[in-house]
Amino acid sequence: MFLKEYLSDIYHATKSLLTGMKRTGYYFVHPKEIITEQYPDNRETLKMADRFRGEVIMPHDANNEHACTGCTACELACPNATIKIITKFDVTPEGKKKKALDTFVYHLELCTMCNLCVEACPTDAIKMGQNFEHSVYDRSMLLKKLNKPGSKIREGVE
């Protein structure tokens, strides 16, 4: 009786192990079904999803114009004080003073990619970019100015 149990234990143990090994063996001879991506080698073909949140960017059009009015809504929405808006006063042709964006300071090292600033912006001036390769040798290189030098606000954006 004992011997029978003992042998059946061995049988079941071997069977369960072989079932597992069969699974592993299957993938060994079917390398096509392996889905691992070789990251740094596939950089040319790697495409992130459109909505992937890698960093905050400010799109500029061909005339070097952006849509930011300097309203600081994004600065207020940000939970980590990542954004600092520095404004200046432009003089309009009619001779009136008008608030405008001077510098959009963006601390990439503080940003958590939460998307709240993009949600808050009334003029869709900023959006999330797909670049995720942010490592640099010095932390100060992560401090960015998002508006390009010499850029100004697009005509008609209020």
Partner 1 sequence: MYSQTEILKEPEINSSNSAEGELVINIGPQHPATHGVLHLVVTLNGETVKKVEPHLGYIHRSIEKMCESLSYRQFIYVTSRMDYLSAHVNNHACAMTVEKAMQIEVPTRAQYIRVIMDELTRIASHELWWGALAMDLGAFTPFFYAFRERETINDIMEQTCGARLTMNYMVPGGVMADIHPSFQQKVKDFIKLFKSNIDEYDELVTGSVIFQSRMKGVGCLSKEDAISYGCTGPVARGSGVHCDIRKIYPYEIYKQVEFNEIIETAGDSFSRYLVRIKEMKESIKIIEQLIDNIPEGDYQAKTKAVLKLPKGEFYTRVETARGELGVYIVSEGGTTPYRIKFRSPGFSNLSALDHMVRGSKIGDLMATMGTLDLVIPDIDR
Instruction: Point out which span in 12-20, 38-46, 91-99, 110-118 binds ligand SF4 (CB under 6 A).
Output: 110-118
Q: Tell me the DSSP string of 15-57.
A: HHHHHHHHHHHHHHH-GGG-----TGGGTTT----TT--SEEE
Which residue spans within 9-158 are E strands per DSSP? 55-57, 65-66, 83-91, 97-107, 127-129, 143-145, 152-153
Quick note: the x/- pattern for ligand SF4 over 126-145, rule CB under 6 A, is x-------------------
Q: Are strands 143-145 and 97-107 parallel, antiparallel or unpaired?
A: antiparallel
What SS3 class is residue 144? strand
Cβ-based nearer residue to ligand SF4, 112 or 131: 112
Determine which residue in the list 1, 3, 5, 19 makes contact with partner 1, applying CB under 8 A: 19
Quick note: the x/- pattern for partner 1 over 50-69, rule CB under 8 A, is xxxx----------------
| 134 binds partner 1, rule: CB under 8 A | no
Question: Residue 98, CB half-sphere, CA atoms under 13 Å: how many?
Answer: 13
Q: Which does 126 bind (CB under 5 to 8 A by kind): ligand SF4, partner 1, none?
A: ligand SF4
Cβ-based nearer residue to ligand SF4, 41 or 112: 112
| 112 binds partner 1, rule: CB under 8 A | yes
